Chain A
Amino acid sequence: MELISLFPTWFEPMVGSGWVVGFIATFHVLASHTSVGAALLFAYLSWRAYKEDRDDYLDFVKKYGLFLLVFTYVAGSLTGVGIWYSTTVASPNGIGALIHSFVWKWATEWVFFVIEVVGIYMIVYLVGKVDKKTHMKISVIFGMASLATMVIIVGILSFMMVPGKEQWFEQGGYLLGFYGDNTFIQLAMRMAFMMTMTAVVGGIVVAGIKDAAFKKEMARKLGWLGIIATLTGAVLFQLYVQTVPDYALLVMENRLPDYFNTSIMVVLVITLAYFIATMLQPRLLVAGFAGTMSVVILVAGLWPEETARESMRKPWVAGQYVYSNQVIGRDVPGMDIQSQLPIIEKVGILKAHPFTPEHLREVNDGNIIQAGEFITMTYCSNCHSASESGIRPLHRYFPEGVTQEVMERYIRGAIVPGTIAYMPKMPMIESEIKAISAYLVMNNNQGMAATQQAIAQEIAQRDATEMAKQAEQPGLVVSMKSTAEESK
């Protein structure tokens, strides 16, 4: 058998597995970036509290810390694990590529996670129970440990887009994969963004401050932090775009929704206006307003940004060698990794896939829709949903009434050789082209329900044929009833 490393496929018809990863990742970014930014803010405020002997700074740290402990540390740590889980079920070879190159880096990050978790409890619960100098030291360590988690994960995120250095493909090794142009500029951009988030979410805590003078002071501090971070982040985003591969820019121009640039600009302006308004009039800063701003940034700023990052790296999902459909599409001599395309070209995707059921390994008239569905799920469903809803539904890409002949021509001419810039090369043997075409035509013209009916009919026909074959063999028990009748 010539098998490649393909796992079963999870098909989520409502939103699609890609969006599930996107939802979890976006929420995690909000929580984790706020946490890291706040950790640095705590270190600064705790230091000021020690130097100036100010209890109110520590009181603010305690309140903000408790808020983060419940909302961002609980949800942030769990959605962080959730990214692993969701990518495991949506893109096992994508996460597998990252895990196997960066397992020690993640393990190193884990050491800092442990420090963070112990640290946040200490920062919150030891206010007023230890002297200010000790609290300051705990806060400084906590801030640096949080920053360490950020610097580690950014290198891995950069590798998803493009390995740090081009030499990595020839020489392999962790360092060449981790460090590159994209790593540092992305880190700087994310640090700016996390300070913006810290200032916005911190507003929820500032809103609860009773002392008007202190509220004004904190609103101004957070306001300046937010304005500087937002403007710096906007500049850094422009620099970040310079470090991504050319094809990623092409994808960005062609594939991102029309509202992307507008949305980012609107959020930028709203954010700046929000900070200016709350600095000028701290009484405007109420919990509902700050909470709404957090949601605005999440929905209108973070979601498009994360969607862009996800879309830009197509057709790859990791390291420019694992396709978004999980097939390894490129040799990486430095890691002794071979492209899986030659094997698929030789035997077809059905025979190369370890999880193809025996009855689908050869396409025939009795299983053509099942085989077509299997190939569609394997090759397409990560990026295109077979259902009406979900991620980039397939039916949007074909005209109503498309014929088998036209579909086959399209598959043979564009999909198999991979001539569409942001789509993988998807080798298929001729019978598989016919099968996927038959499925896509039926799915497009009659809907997914019709494909399921056709599959049910194929299975019923297959079962009936098998029953008939068994019945023809003398002495074989077909059913209790027939055996009893035979013995009469």
Chain B
Amino acid sequence: MEPMQLTEMMLALRNPAGVPFYPIVFVGLGVLTFALHIFFVQLMLGTAAITLYGAYKQDSHWRRLASAMLEIAKVSVSVAIVIGVAPLLFVQVVYDPQWYTSNVLSADWVIGFIVIMIVGYWGMYYYYFKNGKYGANSDTPKARWSLILSLAFLLLAGWIMHSLTSQMLHPEQWASWYNPNGTMDYSGSKLHANNPWRYAFFILLAIPAAGAMLIAYRRFKSVRADADMTYLNWASDLGKKWLTYGSLMVIVPYIGWMMTLPEAAGDFATSLWGILPIAILVAVAGWAQIRLNDKDSLCNYMALPMVLVAVLVASITREVLRFVILNDAFGYNFFDYKVTMDWYSTGLFFGTFAIVGGAVLAYFLTIAWRVGQSNGVYTSSAAVDRMGTLAIWITFLWLIHFFVLGFVVWAQ
């Protein structure tokens, strides 16, 4: 097919209902939530890898760290999944022609992804239930195979997602994937496109992410009266190494990715957006060397946001690359997606996100933070208790508004 025909095809595949707000907003939210999602994926992989490594080490510090990181890995899987719902939603809004085509052409893998994720997730829980919080002086952890299985399946799930997003960028090959050698293939049994460098880049970012987590972990636990500073300092030193060298190391697969971009990407690799992730990763490594010398400084908590910023920049680059390939080479510009404006539902989302989400999560995270730094039972202060009351009222009013408005519309 000629590029013009491909453009016409992709435009025909757009949903005729249009989108209820300006397309750029969905793309922006997609990038932001993808960055958060992939950051938690990296935390999950990094902390699960520490748990696995620690499970095979006899060293008491490693055993203890492995046990602590398992707790973070478990929560990170949940958070990665729930946050991952958002970019999955937003990509369907303006890139539905590409996303749906890519998915249907590899449908068996799309369905397999669900099963693989469930097995991967349950594998981690199985290991947890077999061992509990086993700590430093435990025997050799049981069922280590389940953790290996879990990590392998989670990586496989990542590979599937990586392939699906890669396939979106090759509209020129869709016809040949659907009709290879002149024979129709309705099976959806193959993954058709990938770039191992790109996959390695996003996966290996788990190293600096886990490093940042170790640094923040040490700072968080150090305020407790029962803190074991020898162990915590060891974890923090390890984290600093991972953060510094990991940030520099992932530049290698990133350059590999940029050097193997499809022809349709033009000179993206040497553009500002192509170079920016390298600059930010070097900056993170430099920041870690300069700012992380005082272990008790609040700066240690900044390690996590610093990695998140690097991941966000890489996510923006990824999105710009998608735009460059689909717009410049194939004439698909998401900006001109039909808009069927809907102010109410737009306002409802942003209001819920900022007011309900803000009030409730502020309350929840305050409690979680205080509990983590307390010995014994934590009792809310008057201010925190008021935060809870406020969060209850806000959520309650949201439900009231839903029903009142609904009945008004229904009764018309």
List residues of A whose CB falls within 8 A of some B CB. 1, 3-12, 17, 20, 24, 70, 73-75, 77-82, 84-86, 88-90, 92-93, 95-97, 99-108, 110-119, 121-122, 126, 128-131, 133-134, 137-138, 140-141, 144-145, 147-148, 151, 155, 164-165, 172-176, 178-181, 183-184, 328, 332, 335-338, 354-355, 357, 359, 370, 373-374, 377, 381, 455, 459, 462-463
Contacts and interface: CB of A to CB of B under 8 A. Distances in A.
Interface stretch (B56-64, B99-107, B321-329): B99-107
Contact of B103 (A82, A89, A118, A121): A89
B335 to A, nearest CB: 17
Given A111-B356, A335-B17, A462-B182, A141 B395 contact: yes
A88 B114 contact: no
A180 B408 CA distance: 10
Given A104-B348, A126-B367, A355-B175, A97 B15 contact: yes
Contacts of B137: none
A103 to B, nearest CB: 5
Interface string B323-358: 000000000000000101010111011001100110
Interface string B1-34: 0000100110011111111110000100100000
Contacts of B272: none
A145 B410 contact: no
Contacts of A6: 13
Given A81-B88, A85-B114, A357-B184, A337 B17 contact: yes
Interface of B: 5, 8-9, 12-21, 26, 29, 75, 78-79, 81-86, 88-90, 92-93, 96, 99-101, 103-105, 107-108, 110-111, 113-114, 117-118, 121-122, 125, 174-175, 178-179, 182-184, 186-188, 338, 340, 342, 344-346, 348-349, 352-353, 356-357, 360-361, 363-365, 367-368, 371, 374, 377-380, 384-385, 388-389, 391-392, 395-396, 398-399, 402-403, 405-407, 409-410, 412
Contacts of B399: 144, 147-148, 151
A22 B3 CA distance: 38
28 contacts: A3-B8, A8-B104, A12-B108, A73-B78, A74-B121, A74-B125, A78-B117, A78-B121, A85-B113, A88-B92, A88-B110, A89-B110, A92-B100, A92-B104, A96-B100, A97-B17, A103-B19, A104-B346, A108-B352, A137-B388, A138-B367, A141-B391, A174-B345, A179-B410, A180-B410, A183-B410, A335-B17, A373-B184
Contacts of A116: 82
A372 B114 CA distance: 33
Contacts of B90: 103, 107
Contact of A4 (B12, B26, B345): B12
Contact of A77 (B82, B356, B360, B403): B82
B100 A175 contact: no
Nearest to B74: A121
Nearest to B354: A111
A131 B352 contact: no
Given A126-B371, A174-B342, A336-B16, A70 B125 contact: yes
A269 B144 CA distance: 46
A1 B8 contact: yes
Given A99-B89, A144-B396, A336-B18, A463 B379 contact: no
A373 B186 CA distance: 10
A99 B86 CA distance: 12
B82 A117 contact: yes
Given A81-B85, A89-B104, 18 more contacts: A4-B12, A70-B122, A74-B125, A80-B85, A84-B88, A88-B103, A99-B96, A104-B21, A104-B342, A104-B345, A106-B89, A117-B79, A126-B367, A126-B368, A141-B388, A179-B410, A336-B340, A357-B175
Contacts of B403: 151
Contacts of A73: 78
Contacts of B183: 455, 459
Closest 5 CB pairs of A and B: A89-B107, A3-B12, A11-B186, A10-B107, A104-B345
If over half of A's interface residues share one DSSP class (helix, strand or loop), that class is named, otherwise mixed; here it is: helix
Contacts of A4: 12
A115 B361 contact: yes
Given A137-B388, A359-B182, A110 B15 contact: no
Interface centre among A9, A131, A134, A335 (most CB of B within 10 A): A134
Contact of A175 (B187, B384, B405): B405
Contact of B78 (A20, A121, A164, A165): A121
Interface centre among A5, A107, A183 (most CB of B within 10 A): A107
Given A5-B13, A84-B88, A335-B16, A134 B379 contact: yes
A96 B184 CA distance: 24
B404 to A, nearest CB: 11
Given A81-B84, A111-B356, A103 B89 contact: yes
Contacts of A373: 184
A210 B39 CA distance: 43
Contact of A145 (B16, B349, B360): B360
A128 B377 contact: yes
B410 A122 contact: no
Contacts of B88: 81, 84
Contact of B406 (A10, A145, A179, A336): A179
A144 B392 contact: yes
Nearest to B353: A111
A36 to B, nearest CB: 13
B409 A99 contact: no
Contacts of B346: 104
Given A93-B15, A113-B82, A115-B360, A85 B385 contact: no
B93 to A, nearest CB: 5
Given A10-B186, A93-B15, A96-B96, A77 B78 contact: yes
